[in-house]
Structure 1
């Protein structure tokens, strides 16, 4: 009997190689970034080749110039995550944003500069141990020099100032702030816990996985956080800026200044001075109508 070469061992006729499922590979739309305007906004000069030094410089400059804030969801404005809208808001209008806005802008910039970027998600665990929370934090992975690096410019509770190697037990100090990354197994086998040192002990920040996320995933998560009535971004004003040796946090009318050794100073800000503090401490420029809307929301929160 002749050998039937038209069939493989499973008896299935040969077929062409399957086509790629996702044909759109331009996830981060780096070509839509106004790179000159971004460089001017964050104070970057000179050549920016896709190297570790450039990655470090971009993350530090971004954090120093663009604060974390939730003003748009707080006042009921829609949060758009397309690159032109992010550039208009955080670059040209000199405003800040929360993690999806911050890190999607940063992803587009890094993509434009030639870096290999992957989106990740994390569960925020700072301040609330016990039951797991949903993975609502956005951060990035950049593969460079044969190893993966975590890049995050959008964590409102303090976080890395510069890229952190994704390595079990890695510990380092960045601008006076201690950070540690450990492989953990809380809910599955591919989890990593980022901690910060508060001067006395290691404080958990978030648990991340290395499963890739697409911008479309962040659109859904951002919609939830900007519209759900119990979202923390709808129930209080939160603004922060972190840099070497100091972190400023404004929560409604409480302005807190933190140092890496755990020392902290708090002061009360009159409601009608919130706009001034946003400008002087965080570099956020509001029009008169925007300032009135923000201060009205803060006043409602403080009267409860």
Structure 2
């Protein structure tokens, strides 16, 4: 077993000797979402590294940090490939529901497409608190997970040929657009994501270069930490507390196991 395969299993708490079938992906996705946070600390501290397999192993599996979509989905992609899956990476554009427009940063979202028994599925562990937690078929059939309902809609736009839609548990009554993505331009070389990292780090409209945001899923909901607040969703009940810098460091260690 490769170093990546063994370390990834250890990080998410999945047995080293257990085969990963397509049916087991629900468990893998849930464990990944609970154990590897979505966070932008390296961007803010200007401590980014080139996007390579080795650097991702070091950052996420050795140093036990989290990351953004292009890091989290890249490391999961490598893990899936190591376990015999037919997977590729794809790029997408995030939809801003507050403004009802797509972000103007270009295709800066990274997701995964998996082929299984002549069907294609979207898999995403890098979309903050909006994770499907299960493979979502591109055929349009909706799936339901602990995080809500998710489906893929076929579209043809400048942003891609499919859209991920979601109804988050306890949060959305109607379907909302998550992002558009392009299945016709599969990516196998993660070095392409250095361009995304640069945009995320430097673009004035990037949502991730202004203040820290750290989030991960929990059994009953999710946790989100910024430098001014700590928000917990537990079974549909939200509690939000204002915090200061010292509380930020304590909560980062306590809830996300990151020493800053």
Q: TM-score, with normalisation over the residues of structure 2? A: 0.88
> Which residues in structure 2 correspond to 1:1-304 (within 5 Å)?
33-49=3-19, 51-127=21-97, 128-130=99-101, 133=104, 134-168=106-140, 170-187=141-158, 190-197=161-168, 198-211=171-184, 212-213=186-187, 214-258=189-233, 261=236, 263-284=237-258, 286=259, 291=260
Change (3 A) 1:93 1:227: same
Does the 8 Å contact 2:160/2:180 carry over to 1?
no
> Does the 8 A contact of 1:119 with 1:141 survive in 2?
yes
The corresponding residue for 1:27 is none
Q: Deviations over 1:262-295 (max 9, x none)?
A: x4221111121101111112222x1xxxx3xxxx
Structure 2 gap ranges (5+):
none
Q: Residue by residue, what CA displacement relative to the aligned partner does 1:29-82 show, whole Å, maximum 9, x if unpaired?
A: xx9743222211111115444521233332222212110000001111023321
Aligned length: 254
Runs of 5+ unmatched residues, structure 1: 1-30, 292-304
Q: Kindly indicate which of the two structures has a greater share of residues assigned to strand.
A: 2
Distance in 2 separating the partners of 1:59 and 1:120: 18
Shift of 1:225: 1.1
TM-score using structure 1 length: 0.76
Cα distance in 1 for partners of 2:139, 2:54 equals 34
Match of 1:22 in 2: none
Deviation at 1:144, TM superposition (A): 1.3
Which structure would you say has the larger Rg? Answer: 1
Across the aligned residues of Structure 1 and Structure 2, the Cα RMSD in angstroms comes to 2.3
**CA 1:264 to 1:32, structure 2 compared with 1: closer, same or farther past 3 Å?**
same
The question of whether the paired residues in 2 share the 8 Å contact of 1:68 and 1:240 is answered with yes
